[in-house]
Structure 1
């Protein structure tokens, strides 16, 4: 295993564990699952970023790209993920909102850093997606990688819309509406995010069977159509 892989899996494990720890804090403290200062945020962000980083490390190993380029992209992904989760966790413990919070200069810096980190993540995932479309592998894994990374771009794009919409609402004097409007897009953000784990994982499992590649590709195509319809349907319903 390469050094970048070991570091990546370690970072993913720390982020995921952080999410689980805060789930315990939420449960045993009797806190609420809703609201901008709930411990739900470090829980969901920790778990989601942990899974996403781990999946990206694993899936990117299949890509046709140089070791240096992959290491740089993974390094930026890990750094941005750690910053995002750390700032969200810090604000949760401070009992103030992490997003759309411009009450003080410090909180404004945190909110804008989180927004900027989101765009850094988009740039990194776009880089991986472009590499996925240059990758020649088994047809089923090619489809899985291209679908998974493309769906992750969609998820981050929805996240960018959530941030932009919330910032506009806050700047125009409607902070409560900002959380409600952005929060309504959470399902549309979450559903495509984990395709990068599910689709390559399914292809890998199929590769462990004795089924011919044609059968595996047929299953992957069906899964891609079903997942794609789920993504589109979720965006239509919640956008």
Structure 2
């Protein structure tokens, strides 16, 4: 295992541990699970980013690209910044997104938006590499589907941020959180395909079934997952 892999897994583990810690805080304190000030936010972002970073490290180990180390480093740093700032704002009792009440809060909100853009650009790099990488047909399909689905999730996240900022700038902060919150399922469902689909292909690779059968099963799973993603996006994204 290369150093970048070890570091990536440690980062993913620590982010996931942070999410679990905030889950404990929620349960022990009896705090609210709703609203932009809830400890639910650092919990969900910690768990989600922890899983995503770990999945990215593992999934990209199958890719053929000379820039993997650089892309993973940027991805990990951006994830740390995102979770760190969201966590800090939660403990300050301040909204992390769409908050432009002070200069400091504005800087945090814009940094989070910029970090999201960086993660999108890195994921585009991984997706291009996935389409240039030669693997077994089943693993190729799983990797390509997973990274494209991750891009869909990030695109929905970008729409959430953009619509929220527009609503806040127009003087309707409550609408910003309501609109962005409504898109959470469309953001969450495709997010973890990068772990599920390559994981399925890897498990099938350990089975006695021939490669054509493995490819067929991965293809069926991809179609089903794709239908779920499209249905979720259409249901939650279209008024």
Measured against the shorter chain, the TM-score band is over 0.9
Gapped runs of 5+ residues in structure 2? none
| Superposed CA offset, 1:105-130 (max 9, x none) | 00000000000000000000000000
- Aligned counterparts, 1:196-215, within 5 A: 196-215=194-213
Residue of structure 2 in register with 1:146 after alignment: 144
| Superposed CA offset, 1:188-230 (max 9, x none) | 0000000000000000000110000000000000000000000
Residue of structure 2 in register with 1:5 after alignment: 5
- Aligned counterparts, 1:154-165, within 5 A: 154-165=152-163
Secondary structure of 2:132's aligned partner? coil
- Aligned counterparts, 1:66-105, within 5 A: 66=66, 69-105=67-103
| Superposed CA offset, 1:37-67 (max 9, x none) | 000000000000000000000000000112x
Residue of structure 2 in register with 1:36 after alignment: 36
- Aligned counterparts, 1:1-239, within 5 A: 1-66=1-66, 69-239=67-237
TM-score, normalised to structure 1, is 0.99
RMSD value over aligned CA atoms? 0.4
TM-score, normalised to structure 2, is 0.99
Secondary structure of 1:133's aligned partner? helix
> How many residues in Structure 1 have an aligned counterpart in Structure 2?
237
Secondary structure of 1:173's aligned partner? coil
Partner Cα distance (1:12, 1:29) in 2: 26
Secondary structure of 1:80's aligned partner? helix
| Superposed CA offset, 1:156-207 (max 9, x none) | 0000000000000000000000000010000000000000000000000001
